[in-house]
Structure 1
Amino acid sequence: MRKIIVSSPAAQFLFAALLICGSVTFLFAQRKERLIEAWKPTHFDVSIVFDRGLTKLTSATTKIDIVTRRSDVNVIDLDFGSMPVSSVLVNNAPAKFTQHDEKLDVQLASPAQKDQRLGLTITYSGTPKDGLILSIDKDGSPTAIGDNWADRVHNWIPCLDHPSAKASVRFTVTAPSDFTAVANGVMESVKPSPATAVKTWVFYETRPVSPYNMVVAVGRFATGELEGTSPVPVSYYVPMSEGKFAEKAFSPAIPAIITFSNLVAPYPYKKLALIVGATKFGGMENANTIVFSPNYFNNFTTAPGRSKKFDIPKSTEDVDAHEIAHQWFGDSVTESTWADLWLSEGFATYFAGLFLEKNEGPDVFREYMRGNAKSYLEYEKKRRAPIHDIQTEKLFDLLNPNNYEKGGWVLHMLRGMLGDEAFFAGIRSYYDKHKDSTATSEDLRAALEKASGRDLKSFFDRWIYKAGHPVYQTSWNDAGNGSITVTLKQTQPDEAFLQPVTVEIVTEKGKQRVTMEPKSKETTITVKSAPPRAVMIDPDELVLKEVVN
């Protein structure tokens, strides 16, 4: 997803406050995650019926296929919000249940044994307090849109609300016939009921997706399918008054699908729907059903800083590419725990940059990466924490430049160290092994090590599991006999970063480059050279760093 948009002084104050909270959390709290232990879901069948004004669910039934992971399981402990549950069935037989503290505990008639398959049916109704956002769009028309990150889907779908609990999902959505519905997966059918003035849509996503990526969207939309040669249909659903902007605003979508398919693997789903509506984020990458902010079209024709290729705001091009990159990284390959969120957000950030590099040119890509470095360096002044963050308690506080911009820069540094051939071979191998499943930072390291033949343990240890970045300082001295000594110091307060660094020596006769391989925070080499006019660190901008005099 694209992070929360900070657009007003009040919002900027709130964001600063969140950063402060994040610092306190890192120092004093340990995050506990609910992982898959006793049971796991394999499929959801969610049927929801809306009232005339899209203000509540008049009825809802969720059927969950689960498999137990250990023996003697007596209770299936679902995450579920405050909507009242009227009944629960286990294998079509009534079951006792208790609803409390955003939990739904279902008592089994007899203990389930390991690998036993069960079918749960939960019936409920009401107005969800979060997750399924019932609101009014810019045209004053009711909408209902799923917005679940990080763990808010349980407010309207009973589930195990953690990204690792991936499952296939079928949605059956009934709403007034003058609305349009869309959901994850391919539309299997749409049936009107003229007598009751409603329609029922059925969508089915066969590939396993994380609970937070399971969404529906219902509204009075301007809809259409993007023109162009695409491996899958790409459609849009936007407020009626903004339909005139949609084709151009989403013009990077098909090129993004093609770019990422060429770099990684074929697009993982059978369709892509692009929706503008209620979300807390600039964009939310729900599997094949992306939702963009209600502000997506603001100043669309007049905003400065425009894409040369698409003639749209650069921010629009960025968020389009970012959310589409998530279809591979975050949606198909999902982080095993929140500590590895960078495998989603860092990847989407970097691959949005790769889209710019391929479609706008290397200069635009460099500008993008410089901006990302600046964002991270400003953040790091307020809070020092590792990318692999097991301590931040509030999940929304993980939406920070460590996981986005620094994560993207880690990938850029790995690409610079390993070279394009080995780097992208490793990324393709990582994706192929973990698609439709979950992954860790160690899984990524293993794939890149196998592709490159390099030991990356120390790199991952320093950049992923520890905080900070190198702060470089160079000096040189005349060593006699037409030589100079070049000294590279690292002045950051913590331990050294040991990856090789290119140094460019500029003299009256030209330029030469040498590679310095730090073993500690101070490294010196002797080079045949006239006295230099300048000594430049990392001239190709392949290292996330600061340089001081």
Structure 2
Amino acid sequence: METIVLLALAFIMGAGELNKQEVEYTPSNIEEVQDLYNPSATRLSDIVHTNLSVRFDWEKQYLHGTAEITAKPYFRATNELILDAKGFDIHHVKMGELALNYQYEDDKLVIRLDRVYKRTESYTISIDYTAKPNELDTKAGEAITDAKGLYFINPLGHEDKPQQIWTQGETEFSSCWFPTIDKPNERMTQNIAITVQDKYTTLSNGVLVKSEQNKDGTRTDYWEQSLGHTPYLAMMAVGDFNITTDKWRGIDVDYYLEDDFHKYARGIFGRTPEMMEHYSEILGVDYPWEKYAQVVVRDFVSGAMENTTAVIHGEFVQMDEREMLDRHEEDIIAHELIHHWFGDLVTCESWANLPLNEAFATYGEYIWREKGFGRMAADKHLDADLNSYFREARSKQVDMIRFDYTDKDDMFDSHSYAKGGRVLHMLRYYLGDEAFYLGLQKYLEDNAFSTVEIHQLRLAMEEVCGEDLNWFFNQWFLSSGHPILAFSYEYEDSTNTQWVYIEQLQNLEKTPLYKLNMDVALYFEDSVFTYNIDVQDGLEAFAFTARSAPTNVVVDSEHMLLAEIIDEKPEEWWLDQLYAPRYMDQKNVLKNLSGPALETAINHNLKHEYWGVRELAIKAIERTDSPSQFESILLEVAVNDDRTIVRAAAIDVLASFEGALKHEGLFEKATKEMSYAIAGSGLDALTLVNEEKALIAARMFEKESKNELKEAVMRTYASLGDFQEFSYFEEEIQKTSNYDLYITAAYFSEYLKNQDLNTAAKGALIIIKASKNGPSWAEYYFNLMVDRLVEHHLNSAENKIEAQQIFNEALN
């Protein structure tokens, strides 16, 4: 699963801590506190096969279903079957024609069988039920922003969006739409018969074996998943989708999009077969499923989901040709695809072991970037993962594999994803590519169609490489924190020795002393010598024989360590590093220099072959003593660079210069570019130099704007807009969802700060109403926005009592 990260919202809003109630304890009221522990689910019964027949009541948002479940005791003989079934009406439970007794409470369906069954005996029961997802009392999380399992989108057809039905099973939400044992260590095959109006297209796991027209004008599609998978991967999607067909080694590869985006399907998803080939080759295990389909849906509650053979993507993946000038979504496409090995074929046994799914999916993004875009692009992406983990680590440092989580959703964090991917990257570089990928092949082959814990990965790697890897897994997967390293240097002329000192500075009371393996590169005028070293003490000194003083030393020259690094190098070494080969070499140069040396580095990297380094150089200009010295080269970049993101960055910096008014023509021309990024930067720049033109331009772009341009329109309205713009925000906040809804509400609240009291109060009510119809997190953040809006107007009002009364009447 690719998550929607909401941690940034708390950072933006500056949310405070919850009040804590002080309690005075005496010996009589102290209770023994047990350590929180979430074990793997106990296996009492095993579902062999699930056969579902479903139809829908769009008006009531109900699913009417019949589930035929073939099961057997897991080990001990039993005369009952316990199923998860959330919020159902149970109409009957039968074995053949025999009605079975059952109890249904607390979302558990306990069925009394006709007799005691041994583990060698299977049986089939039939359950007729109605699922009512909208009547569930659910608790969502930050990663998966709702927990109903089954979703009806625009069910009555009154909204300006397609009518759709789709499901979301992870973590344990499939039992919101069919009865099952909703745990990750359960596996089953399945058939789903979906009855819909003939105008709709359906998608589910496995292959479509037949479709039948019914006498009432409906159609039933029969989907068969013949290979076992865990219940949270079961899915359905229903909607007016246009299918683009593709192939990989004879296997169907299909892309389901809304009709308006059908013509862009290959631009969005077209490299999928190439990804399937690359992963199959490098992992040594061919794509193991019957087909591969991807569908884009509206209002999805996460980023994407790796349902077996039928991935669901959020609507942000659906792009037109203008959007594709600026970005691609191949990271998320790669993430969900490689899950079909790590997560679907081999599944974490418990949520405590979630990194076995998500760390590999995150690192799969790197593996694809390395192949599809090159090492520089892959390293840039890996650096973003590292920074994501570090942001979280400021307030949260936990073991990656942990059984003491409070809620399953807690596991879907930057530890499981970003840190996990970086740890796998270190393991790859320690073992070498051959051993790493052979170890993964063994892990996949030994555990195919089953569930695993972290030790099975370690044992597979150890069997291939012949080395005990407990030390690596203990310090990275089973301990919290990360190393903080300080590098310092000394050259000894008398012995031609270059000394490198490495000190570990992390708090050893909370974080282990790490054993680290890394390369050290010594640069000379005409050559580079690389040495491999092991670090395992708090302070170590390494001596390298050198024919002369090196021009630079790069410790961790492949930049693969997950560590905070303090690198005390002389300025001339940093300048020499401009000629080093890695993305992180250049980022570290620009980060560590200042003054004239930084200016030299910027001039050098503005001409770098990789666009990401050119973008870094542009963003570093604001740190120089005289940014305007780069004006002429920025004008060249703003017009002629071959990457839209780099051109947009150049326009942003030009707009910040004194005398930027002379570039008004450039900014105005930029607003007419096809690239949303360039047009958005042009509009932002125009807002700074000609407010009247900027407002006219923003009003022209209202209907066609997306992404950066849409945000620029909202920023322009927030700072310059009058009563005319109220209807724009009102309409936008009603039709956006998820993170886009947050962005719209945030700019709307800023706009309302510049309006009269009555308009502000009317807008505040719209924001509050939007929060109640939005994701679970919206109410908290939107109330905070409104509180700050009210506070702003009260502070500036001449009559505070009258102002408070206006807001009270509007909001109450």
TM-score, normalization: structure 2? 0.62
| CA–CA separation in structure 2 for the residues paired with 1:292 and 1:386 | 29
* 1:462 and 2:465 matched: no
Structure 1 counterpart of 2:238: 218
Instruction: For 1:243 and 1:517, locate their aligned partners in 2 and report how far apart those are by CA, in whole Å.
Output: 53
Question: Which stretch shifts more, 98-107 or 289-298?
Answer: 289-298
C-alpha distance in 2, partners of 1:461/1:417?
15
Query: Structure 1 residue 408 and structure 2 residue 421: aligned?
Result: yes
C-alpha contact 1:252 1:321 (8 A) present in aligned 2: no
2:204 to 157, 163, 183: 183
| 3-state SS in 1 of match to 2:243 | strand
Structure 1 CA distance for aligned equivalents of residues 450 and 321 of structure 2: 40
8 Å CA contact retained: 1:36, 1:165: no
Give 5+ residue unaligned stretches, structure 1. 19-26
Aligned residue number for residue 518 of structure 1 = 535
Name segments (4+ residues, structure 1) moved above 6 Å: 14-18
Q: Which residue of 2 aligns with 1:528?
A: 545
- Contact 1:335 1:344 survives alignment (8 Å): yes
Structure 2 contact 131–177 (Cα < 8 Å) conserved: no
Q: Report how many residues are paired.
A: 530
Counterpart residue number, 1:123: 128
Computing the radius of gyration over CA atoms, which structure comes out larger, 1 or 2?
2
How do 1:364-513 and structure 2 match up within 5 A? 364-479=377-492, 480-493=494-507, 494-506=511-523, 510-513=527-530
Aligned counterpart, 1:155: 176
How much identity, in percent, do the aligned residues show? 24
Alignment of 1:63-82 (within 5 A): 63-82=68-87
Which of 53, 62, 65 is the equivalent residue of 1:56? Answer: 62
* Pairwise CA distance, 1:400: 1.0
Q: Displacement of 1:5 after TM fit?
A: 5.2
2:260 to 220, 230, 241: 241
Query: 2:39–2:403: 8 Å Cα contact kept in structure 1?
Result: no
Question: Structure 1 residues 342 and 11 mapped into 2: Cα distance closer, same or farther (>3 Å)?
Answer: same
Q: Which amino acid aligns with 1:465?
A: L
Q: Do residues 2 (structure 1) and 15 (structure 2) align?
A: no
Instruction: Report whether the alignment pairs 1:208 with 2:228.
Output: yes
Comparing both structures, which one devotes a greater share of its residues to strand?
Answer: 1
Which amino acid in structure 1 is aligned with residue 251 of structure 2?
V
The CA deviation at 1:426 is 0.8
Q: Give 1:173 deviation, angstroms.
A: 0.7
Q: 1:325 is aligned with what amino acid?
A: I
Does structure 1 retain, via aligned residues, the 8 Å contact 2:171–2:232? Answer: yes
Task: Indicate yes or no: 2:142 matched with 1:132.
Answer: no
Deviates more, 1:1-10 or 1:481-490: 1-10
Q: CA deviation at 1:231?
A: 3.9
Q: For 1:194-223, what per-residue CA distance to the aligned partner results, in whole angstroms no more than 9, with x for missing partners?
A: x30100010001111111110111111122
The structure-2 alpha-carbon separation of the partners of 1:13 and 1:30, relative to structure 1 and needing over 3 Å to count, comes to farther
Task: Give me the whole-angstrom Cα distance separating, in 2, the residues matched to 1:293 and 1:468.
Answer: 32
Paired AA for residue 400 in structure 2 = I
Deviation at 1:399, TM superposition (A): 1.3
Aligned equivalents of 2:369 and 2:2: distance in 1?
16
**Paired residues of 2:515 and 2:535 also in contact (CA < 8 A):** yes
C-alpha distance in 2 between matches for 1:509 and 1:496: 37
Counterpart pick for 2:286 among 250, 266, 269: 266
Q: Distance in 2 between matches of 1:105 and 1:291?
A: 32
Amino acid at match of 1:237: Y
Secondary structure of 1:233's aligned partner: strand
8 A contact 1:342–1:407 mirrored in 2: yes
Corresponding residue of 1:21: none
- Do 1:36 and 1:164's aligned partners in 2 also have CA atoms closer than 8 Å? no
Distance 2:315 2:554 in 1: 45
Gaps of 5+ in 2: 19-32, 135-147, 569-812
Structure 1 equivalent of residue 804 of structure 2:
none
* Bigger proportion of residues as helix: 2
Q: What is the CA–CA distance in structure 1 between the aligned matches of 2:518 and 2:297, rounded to whole Å?
A: 46
Relative to structure 1, the CA distance from residue 53 to residue 177 in structure 2 (aligned partners, 3 Å threshold; closer, same or farther) is: farther
Mark the CA change 1:397 to 1:352 in structure 2 (over 3 Å): closer, same or farther: same
2:131–2:176 Cα contact (<8 Å) kept: no
After TM superposition, the structure 1 stretch with the greater mean CA deviation from structure 2, 134-143 or 150-159, is 134-143
Counterpart selection for 1:47 from 46, 53, 57:
53
- Deviates further, 62-71 or 479-488: 479-488
Q: In the alignment, residue 426 of structure 2 is paired with which amino acid?
A: M
Shift of 1:424: 0.7
For the 8 Å contact 2:53–2:194, the answer to whether it is kept is yes
Change (3 A) 1:86 1:248: same
Q: How do 1:184-199 and structure 2 match up within 5 A?
A: 184-193=205-214, 195-199=215-219
Letter in 2 for 1:197: G
Measure, in 2, the Cα distance between the counterparts of 1:413 and 1:238.
38
Question: Bigger shift: 61-70 or 122-131?
Answer: 122-131
- Structure 1 window deviating more from structure 2 (28-37 vs 411-420): it is 28-37
TM-score by length of 1: 0.90
